[in-house]
């Protein structure tokens, strides 16, 4: 069985964070408070596009 290494941001000071793990073609995300809860799986291209959009400020709520 392959061991999974979960990571979270070094800026996370509490359990109110996301954790993620990745392989060559997938990224899996979970709530750090619920390590045995729901895991969301994304293909690497979709995750990369999502992160890029966040970095450029493209996902702000209306009115911000």
With the CA atoms of 8, 12, 18 and 27 taken in that order, what torsion angle do they form, in degrees rounded to the nearest 10?
A: -30
In whole angstroms, give the CA distance from residue 6 to residue 40: 13
The per-type count for the chain, helices as H runs and strands as E runs, is 1, 3
* Structure confidence at residue 60 (pLDDT): 74
* Structure confidence at residue 62 (pLDDT): 63
Domain ranges of the chain: 18-55
Mean pLDDT by 10 residues, the chain (64 residues): 83 83 93 92 93 84 64
């Amino acid at each position: 069985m392959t061991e999974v290494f979960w990571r979270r941001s070094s800026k996370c000071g509490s359990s109110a964070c996301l954790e993620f793990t990745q392989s060559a073609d997938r990224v899996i995300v979970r709530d750090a408070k619920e390590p045995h809860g729901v895991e969301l799986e994304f293909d690497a291209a979709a995750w990369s596009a999502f992160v890029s959009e966040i970095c450029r400020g493209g996902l702000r709520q209306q009115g911000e």
